[in-house]
Amino acid sequence: MRNHTVPRERAVRESDTSLAELRGDCARMAPHWVKPAAATPAPVPPSLIHGVTVPPASARLIDGMAEYGD
């Protein structure tokens, strides 16, 4: 059976790492990380939207709300 404890010298060394050092490490690694291109969803034509029902109370609630930018 293996002992899964961290050696004392490693634990001390890891606890001595400051936030500034950690941020510096991240800043040096950041250029190597690739940000995936954002996928923009294609608009759905209204003709493809069917079978959606809205309860009358919800429709009245939305109808009573101000338009955006009012």
Answer yes or no: is pLDDT of 2 > 60.
Answer: no
Mean pLDDT of the chain: 78
In this prediction, residue 17 carries a pLDDT of: 72
Average the pLDDT over each of 11-20, 29-38, 44-53 and give the range with the smallest value: 11-20
pLDDT > 70: percent of the chain: 73
Is this model's pTM higher than 0.85 or not? no
Answer yes or no: is pLDDT of 64 > 60.
Answer: yes
Q: How far apart are CA 61 and CA 64, in angstroms?
A: 5
